[in-house]
Amino acid sequence: MMKIIVCGAGNVGKSIVGYLVKGNNDIVVIDNNSRRLDEMGQEFDVLPVLGEASHPDILERAGAEDADLLLAVTNSDEVNMITCQIAHSLFNVPHKIARLDSEAFLNPLWETLYSDNHLPIDMIISPDIEIAQNILQILKYPGNSGVISVLQDEAAILTLKINENCPFLKTPIMHLSRVNPDLDFAVVNILRDGNCFVPEAYDTLEAGDEINILVRKKLIDETICGFGLDTPGNERLVIFGGSLIGRFIGRQVEHDDSVVSCKIIEENMDDARSLARELSHVVVIQGEMMSDVILNEANINHADASIAVTLDDKDNLLASMVASQNGVMTNITVVNTPSYNNLLFNIKNNILVDRSSITISKILKEIRKVKMIDAHVVSRGCGEVWEIKATEDSLCCGKKIGELNLRKFSRIFAIKRGDEFIYPLPTTDIEEGDILLLYVDSSDVRHVEKILS
């Protein structure tokens, strides 16, 4: 069991806590807003502490002297940095993670600032920027529902929604290569009717499945086409909400030659003016998002993709529904609350971006008891992908995969050995230097940790 202190009960803090409570963790949440704390306490089994996270007495009341990990994720970069400093200097908290959103603090020129000799921050996360980058990856490869880079960006975990036009329907997993020998991929897991599972050799794909597959980055477009999911490019964008996510996307696409037009709808006058001053090639429209006049001004009927990134799940849900009804082919929706997952999944052409999955992925290797290169949450929290290097002192090194006694919920689905990609069998040997890719079901984390730690 880990004792974890989460400072901040806003969207970021809530998304982190929502995932951490699934494990056997003792969680304390600090916030200066009693309403947010009450909501957090009603939804999750956590200990709420009211007060300023950067105050020593509040950290003491939260039990910082016994904490294994502190996550400072308030809306203030300065508060998060000071909180980490106090947690280090007064309470000797061993691991400290801070949320920093301002580019002034994220500039690579100042990376030496974050060390025990200066500001003792072990890891920096920028959830909104990570979400924006995830959305840009989705837009880059039309037809997919998610892209996670693995193996030093050489490959990706690609999320695809299978439809009735997929040529692989009713084909056993073991025979997929016979349908299209030119494709090279491995099926990681399948999400079907809300249930996530690792397919057996004779399992088949069905329309409505959401699958994760491993594919080399250079073959992503070819693979999407092979599944019958290729769509026209995302040249015309409409963004609902001028949040930090929308602002970051706007800055990136206004210099992207593949994007013909981008329009951001923002209801707040001050935020809209700020966006308009900052963005020179992106059109900023101030007004009610659901207004027919505003939607017509945004030319929603001719958009290729809509991106709903307001701070409210309900607004994002409604915006995606309206965009879909107006014929938009790709609708990307950011959500913070897992209870909306099924509703959003059933919206035609909708792509769900789960804030908690992306945020937790950045810190996952810090909370797992296995030494790993990287880790990612997949299938909206149903499972995780671990990237592990087999070293001389690894317990798995020199064994056959079948000897690890992994349960059916989890498996090693690929091995990178030099430049070679291996889709292993139970009889495959694990050699020193191999990079293993594992899918671990959320219910099986502790079991796999015991095997590999």
Q: Which amino acid is at 280?
A: S
Q: What is the pLDDT of residue 342?
A: 56
How far apart are the C-alpha atoms of 53 and 64, rounded to whole Å? 11
Right CATH number for 146-226 from 3.20.20.70, 2.40.37.10, 3.40.50.2000, 3.30.70.1450? 3.30.70.1450
Give the separation between CA 377 and CA 359, rounded to whole angstroms.
Answer: 9
> pTM, whole model, 2 decimals?
0.91
CATH number of the 236-348 domain: 3.40.50.720
pLDDT at 136: 97
**CATH topology agreement for domains 146-226 and 364-452:** yes
The predicted structure's pLDDT at residue 347:
59
Segment 237-259, tens digit of pLDDT: 999 999 999 999 999 999 899 99
d(CA 285, CA 347): 25
Residue boundaries of the structural domains of the chain: 2-125, 146-226, 236-348, 364-452
Closest CA to 81 of 31, 119, 55, 113: 119
Which residue intervals of 298-427 are DSSP H helices? 313-325, 341-345, 355-367
Residues of the chain with pLDDT under 70: 337-349
Tell me the per-residue pLDDT of 338-359, one tens digit each, with 9 for 90 and over. Answer: 566 555 555 556 898 988 899 9
Give the CATH number of domain 2-125. 3.40.50.720
Give the class (CATH, top level) of 364-452: alpha beta
DSSP letters of 36-86? Answer: HHHHHHHHSS-EEEES-TTSHHHHHHTTGGG-SEEEE-SS-HHHHHHHHHH
Q: What is the pLDDT of residue 356?
A: 87
